[in-house]
Structure 1
Amino acid sequence: MSRALLTALLLFQILAAAATDTTSTRQPDLIKKGWNLGPIPVVAFDSDLGFEYGAVINFFNYGNGSTYPEYRHSIFMEASRYTKGSGQYRIIYDSKFVLEGIRIMADLQYLPTLAAEFYGFNGSESRYNKQWIRPGNKDYHSELFYKMNKDILRAGLDLQGHFENPKFGWIAGTSFQRYNVGPLKMNKLNAEPSPYDESDVLYNKYVKWGIIKEWEKRGGAHITLKGALIYDTRDNEPNPMRGTWADALIYYVSPNLNEKGKGHAKLALSIRKYFTIVPNDLSFAFRAMTQNTIAGTCPFYMLSQIVTVSPRRSFFEGLGGAYSLRGIMRNRVVADGFALANAEFRYKFWRLHLLRQNFYCAITAFGDVGLITQKTKLDLAKVPISEYNSYFSNTAQRPHYSVGIGGKLVMNQNFVISGDIGKALDNQDGNMGVYIGVNFLF
C-alpha cells in the first residue's frame, strides 16, 4: 500500500507546484478537441487483490469540441496484474456517434484469478474464521483457505437508445462468457507452511459435501441476453452534480453450452440520485439497487456476478469489495438475491489547468450497506455434524455495513483516478479495505 499512496502523494505535489488556478480563482475550462490521452496509472492497489502493475490507457475523442465535456468516442485499454494472482486484460469501446441515435458499448475481457475469494453462500449464515488464515495462529489452516481458481472470458455488445423523450431510454445487449473454475493451482501460489492439508480448502469441502454440484463445479460457457429501460437526467456521466439515473434490467443466461439443462434469469433494479449542495463544488450521491433470480437455477460461479447497464462497468463481482461494499471482503455476501445501497458526499476542493488539461481534486465521505434478500438453497445433508458449527450459522440475515473516505483526481471531467478507504463494521465481514484505481463508484 505504501508505494501506491506515495505515488498519489507525489502526483498531488507535482500538480500543486505547477498549478496557477484554484477554485477561488477559477478560470473557464479549456474546450478539448480531437483525441486526448488519459493518464496511465502505473501502480494501483486493492486490499482484496493486492498491488496492480501494468498499463491503463483511456483515449477520448471530442471532435470539434462542440459536445465537450461529453466525448464522441472512448477507447479504454488495460493490461495489468495483481500481486495476489489475478489479472485484467480488457478493451472497452463506447460511443454515441457511430450509429445515429444509438450508443454502442463493446468489450472484450479476460479476467484470470489464481486465488478468487470464496466464503460460502448467504452472507452471515456462512462463518468466516479469520484465525484459520493467519500464519502463527494456533488454529492456522492456510492463507488460501477461502480461495479458489476462477478465470472469466467475456465478449459483449450493448446498444442503447432513447425514446421520443430523451430522458427515457432502452438498452439491449448480448455477451459470451466462459468461466473456468476449480481447485487452486497450488504450484503457482505461495503460502506459509502448515500441518493442515492445504488442498482441503473451503471450495473443495463444498464439492465433497455436495453443496456445489457436479454439473457446476468446473464452470461453463454461456450466452447472455439483456434488456433494460432507463431514466436518465444526469448533467455529467462520470460525476453528476444533479439528476437521476434509474433502470430496470432483465438478464437471461443460457444453460452451459457444453451441458443440457435450463438457463436462468435475473431482475435487477437500481436508482442513483445526485443532489447539488454547493453549486459546482459539493454534492450528495446515492445509489440503491437490488438483484434477484426470477427463473431457473443460477450456477454457483455466477452468483457473485452483479449486472448493470453502466458502460464503464458492465458487470462486477460482490457483494463486498471496491465496487459494492468498500471495506467488506470481496464476495463475502453472495446469494441468489441482494439489496445494496451506497451514499456519499463529494466535494471538489481544487481546480487547476496543467499541460493544457483541466483537472480538479475531490474528497468523498461514504457509507455502504448490503443485505441478502433471496437465499441460495443449500443441501447440507452431507456436512458432518462435528464440523457444522465451524462453517455455518443459524443466525438471521443481517445488514452488512461499511463506512469510509476517498479522494479523486479528475482530468477533463471524464478520466478519474480514485482512492477509497473503507472500514467494515462487523469483524465477520473483514476489517479495512484500501482501493486505488479509476472512476467514481457510481
Structure 2
Amino acid sequence: MKRSIATLFILFSITIVKAQEIDSLSFIKSKRMSDDDLAKKREGTFFTGIPDFSSDPVTGFGFGLRTNTYWNGNRDNPLFPYTPYLAKLKANAAYYTSNARELVLSLDVPYYKGTRWRFKIDFKAQQNPANLYFGLTESTLGQLRLPSDENTTFSTYREFDRARKTLRPGGVGEADFVTDALSNRFRETEYMLNLKADYALGNGKWRIMGGYEIQHLSYTTFEGMEAEAIDPITGQNTTAPNGISLLRRDFEDGLISGVDGGWVSIIQTALIFDTRDFEPDPTKGYYFEIANEYSSKYIGSQFDFNKLFIQGRAYQKLPIGKRTVLAGRFGAGNIFGNNAPFFEFQDQWSPEGSINALGGRQSLRGYRANRFLARSMWFTNVELRVRLAETQIGKQRFAFAVAPFFDAGTVRDRWQDLNFKNIKTSYGGGLRIAWNQSTILSFDYGHSKEDRLFYFGIGQAF
C-alpha cells in the first residue's frame, strides 16, 4: 500500500508524457494574466533584493538578505502573458536573534523553452535552535502543560512561559534545581537538496510532478544548559540548568523516533490542477493537488514512512474596489508508517512549499509553530485581499493591500477520526506590499485564545 501510491504516480506520469505531443502553446492559454496585471508586468531581466528584517515569535527577529533575479523576457514573447516569469533564481541568507541561521538557493523554470516541462532545484542549509515540541498526538489539542508536570494546565502561552521558567527541584538525572525554559525546544541542523520536474497535460490545467530529495538531519536537546529562570520566592530573574526536555523524555520512553537524526531519502510525486492567473498573487483561479512523499531503506533512507497531503485553493476577484480578491484554502494530510520519525509530523509537503502543521504563519497564525501535532490533520484559511493603493518609484512598482483572515484546523491520531470537533481557530489582519508584482511582502498579526503573534516574511501564506 505504501509503495503503491508513489509507484502509481510514477507509472501514470510516464504513460501520459509519452502520449502527449507538444505542437503549440494552447496548453497554457487558461493561465493568461488579467489585462490590468499584464499592462504592469515588467520586461527583461531584473533583480529585487531587500534586507531581511523578518519577525517570527519562535525564531525571533531576523536579518539578512533576500534576493530574487527574474528573467521575464520581452512583451513579444508568446509566453509573456501566461507565466509569472521565464525563470527565477532565489538566494536568501538570514540570521535570527534565536541564533537560527539559514541559506536557501532555488531555481524555478516554468514551461522550459515553451514546452510543457517545469524544472525546480532547491538547496537549503539551516540550523534552528528554536524549534518547538509539545507532543506528537492529538492530546496536544488540550491546554498547555509543563514537561515536568502534566497535571497543571495553562490557558495562555504567557502563563505557560512564565511557569516553565520558574525554578523547581530537579528529578532523576537533573541538577538539584532546574528550569524548564528550554524543555519544549530543540535544535535542528539540516542540509537538503531537492530536484523536481512537472509536466503539463492536455490544455495545461493538469500537471504531474516527480522529484527526489535527500536530507541529512541532526538534533540536539538542551539538558543541563544554563537557561532563564525565575526564583519562585523572590520573583527575581536568574539562571539555572535546564531540565530534561519533553522531546528527549518522549524518545527515551519509546513514544517517538528520529531524535538521533540521520539521512532521509525521499521520492516525491504529485498530481496538480492549476488555473491561477498569476501564481505569486492570483486574482482568480483554482489550485488542487494530491502530493505524496515516500521514504524507505530501499532508496537509501534510514526511515520508513509515506506522507499523503491533499490541498485545494480558490481565488475569486470581487466587484469591490479596483482589486479585491477572496482567497481560501483547505488541506488535509496523513502519515503512514508505524515508526515514522517525529520530524515528519512537523510539516506537510507540497510542491508549492512545505506547510508547518499545525500552527504558525502558514496554517494557524494565532498559535506557535507546531503547536498541534498528530498523524492526521486538516486546516483551512480564508483571506480577503483588498488593494488600497499603487505607486511607481522610478522603474519600481509597488501596490499596497490589507488582508483580514480567519484560520481553523485540528489533528487526530488516525485519519478515520478526522472530523469537525475540537477545532482550533485564529483570526487577524495583514498588510501586503507587492513589489513589481512578483515579490510579496507580508505582515500578519494573528490572535487566538492562547496567544497573539506577529509575523513578517516574503510571499503569501497561500
Both proteins in one fold, TM over 0.5: yes
Partner of residue 304, structure 2: 263
Contact map agreement 1:115 1:184 (CA 8 A) in 2: no
Cα deviation code 1:130-188 (max 9, x no counterpart): 5453279756733212101211221001111111121111111110012111323876x
Distance in 1, matches of 2:227 and 2:394, equals 44
| CA separation of 1:198 and 1:59: change in aligned 2, threshold 3 A | same
Contact map agreement 2:101 2:127 (CA 8 A) in 1: yes
| CA separation of 1:400 and 1:88: change in aligned 2, threshold 3 A | same
Partner of residue 49, structure 2: 39
- Secondary structure of the corresponding residue to residue 38 of structure 1: strand
Distance in 1, matches of 2:263 and 2:239, equals 37
Distance in 1, matches of 2:164 and 2:210, equals 52
Contact map agreement 1:327 1:422 (CA 8 A) in 2: yes
- Secondary structure of the corresponding residue to residue 303 of structure 1: helix
| CA separation of 1:212 and 1:257: change in aligned 2, threshold 3 A | farther
Which of 67, 74, 82 aligns to 1:57? It is 67
User: More displaced, 353-362 or 122-131?
Assistant: 122-131
| CA separation of 1:302 and 1:321: change in aligned 2, threshold 3 A | same
Correspondence 1:432 to 2:452: yes
Partner of residue 169, structure 1: 207
Partner of residue 129, structure 2: 114
Partner of residue 415, structure 1: 439
Letter in 1 for 2:461: L
Which of 276, 283, 290 aligns to 1:248? It is 290
Q: CA deviation at 1:204?
A: 2.5
Correspondence 1:205 to 2:249: yes
Distance in 1, matches of 2:383 and 2:395, equals 30
TM-score of the superposition, structure 2-length normalised?
0.77
Letter in 2 for 1:400: K
| CA separation of 1:185 and 1:82: change in aligned 2, threshold 3 A | farther
Partner of residue 10, structure 1: none
Partner of residue 353, structure 1: 392
| CA separation of 1:31 and 1:284: change in aligned 2, threshold 3 A | closer
Distance in 2, matches of 1:97 and 1:144, equals 47
Which of 202, 219, 226 aligns to 1:181? It is 219
Which of 152, 177, 191 aligns to 1:153? It is 191
Correspondence 1:76 to 2:95: no
Which of 259, 275, 281 aligns to 2:316? It is 275
TM-score of the superposition, structure 1-length normalised?
0.81
| CA separation of 1:97 and 1:245: change in aligned 2, threshold 3 A | closer
Contact map agreement 2:166 2:180 (CA 8 A) in 1: no
- Secondary structure of the corresponding residue to residue 228 of structure 2: coil
Distance in 1, matches of 2:38 and 2:259, equals 57
Which of 124, 145, 163 aligns to 1:128? It is 145
Contact map agreement 1:120 1:126 (CA 8 A) in 2: no
Contact map agreement 2:228 2:239 (CA 8 A) in 1: no
Q: CA-atom RMSD, angstroms? A: 2.7
- Secondary structure of the corresponding residue to residue 43 of structure 1: coil
Letter in 1 for 2:200: H
| CA separation of 1:221 and 1:71: change in aligned 2, threshold 3 A | same
Cα deviation code 1:215-264 (max 9, x no counterpart): x221121111111111111111111111110011121122498886x611
Contact map agreement 2:59 2:128 (CA 8 A) in 1: no
Letter in 2 for 1:421: Y
Q: CA deviation at 1:30?
A: 4.3
Cα deviation code 1:54-98 (max 9, x no counterpart): 111111111113415721111111110111122221101101254
- Secondary structure of the corresponding residue to residue 143 of structure 1: coil
Distance in 2, matches of 1:181 and 1:101, equals 40
| CA separation of 1:257 and 1:152: change in aligned 2, threshold 3 A | farther
Distance in 2, matches of 1:148 and 1:41, equals 27
Distance in 2, matches of 1:27 and 1:371, equals 37
Distance in 2, matches of 1:251 and 1:58, equals 28
Q: CA deviation at 1:350?
A: 0.5
Distance in 1, matches of 2:414 and 2:128, equals 26
| CA separation of 1:410 and 1:362: change in aligned 2, threshold 3 A | same
Matches within 5 A, 1:12-51: 29-51=39-61
Flag structure 2 segments of 5+ consecutive residues without an equivalent.
1-35, 147-156, 169-178, 231-237
Partner of residue 261, structure 2: 219
Partner of residue 90, structure 1: 104
- Secondary structure of the corresponding residue to residue 279 of structure 2: coil
